[in-house]
Structure 1
Amino acid sequence: MKKLSLFFVFIVFFVPFNSGCSSENIGKVDVYEMESFSAIKKNSLTSYTDPKVVSNIVKAFKKAKKEPGVVEMVDPEYKVEFGEESYYLWISSEHGTIMNLEDTHTTFTLSKSSAKTIYELVK
């Protein structure tokens, strides 16, 4: 019984901690300009490897607020990839919207400060 309790404690405390750290190990963010949902503009890749920039982008995406309802969006401006994640991005200096490529029926809104930071990077 003691072994079972120890295993349970391991699962409850270690697994969430370990998975939460994975976003901190991302070393690169790739940003592509898009022509449409299915077409990337030629030679448009920009890669960010500065740890502070990568961290800011990843945190902004992870903290984005889920919007209710199913959406229909215009073609995205950018595609952003980091780790195993890929997102479409619509951005201005005051507003940002992202959509995970794994769930194209849901959008997330970036905070105003995150939108400004990312806008200054990609423009």
Structure 2
Amino acid sequence: MNMKSRNLIVSLVIILFLLISVLFFFFRVTDNQVIVNKMSGFNEVLPDSERVIVDKGDVQQFTYAVRFADKQQGEVDISAPPFKFTLGKKQYYLWISETYSQGTLMKLPNTGTIYKIDESRVSKLLKILHKKYENNTVIQ
């Protein structure tokens, strides 16, 4: 094996290692639970609405919804959120719609910026919320 081939193989191994490391970092889930509350208004949690989600796959869906949400430009003028959730030490408001298949996040305490959640993640979050709230209508 000549020096050029050896350098190419070493370079490819290093690139592969870096790619795997980046993917692992990007898709890791570090939290063990999500705490969800139904809301009746901003900062108004409905009594007896707290649900603790510990299923690893469900926690992963909330983690990915936050991680892959798209920041929206402009000023925020939005109705009160139907949900608030805590993931790790961070809290979020969650607007989610069965009717429109849309989802929006707001990271607290920054209430001036919203993040859009893609339709496939909204569907997964709705399934989790239906399961946790005993298949009651989550939101219209």
Asked if these proteins are the same fold (TM beyond 0.5), I'd say yes
Query: 1:72 matched to which residue of 2?
Result: 77
Unaligned runs of 5+ in 2: 1-21, 131-140
* TM-score of the two chains, using structure 1 as the length reference: 0.79
Query: 1:111 matched to which residue of 2?
Result: 118
CA distance in 2, matches of 1:98, 1:73: 11
Give 1:43's match in structure 2, choosing from 37, 40, 48.
Answer: 48
Give 2:36's match in structure 1, choosing from 23, 31, 37.
Answer: 31
CA deviations 1:8-62 (Å, max 9, x no partner) are xxxxxxxxx8xx58x6220000100001102100000011101111011111111
**Root mean square deviation of aligned Cα:** 1.7
* TM-score of the two chains, using structure 2 as the length reference: 0.70
Shift of 1:92: 1.3
Query: 1:8 matched to which residue of 2?
Result: none
Shift of 1:102: 2.1
SS for the counterpart of 1:24 is coil
CA deviations 1:41-98 (Å, max 9, x no partner) are 0000011101111011111111000010110111100001011110001101310001
CA distance in 1, matches of 2:89, 2:75: 24
Shift of 1:104: 0.3
Identity score, percent: 27
CA distance in 2, matches of 1:42, 1:74: 20
Please identify runs of 4+ aligned residues in structure 1 that moved more than 6 A: none
- Count of paired positions: 105
Query: 2:129 matched to which residue of 1?
Result: 122
Indicate the structure (1 or 2) with the bigger Cα radius of gyration: 2
* Amino acid aligned to 1:106: T
Unaligned runs of 5+ in 1: 1-16
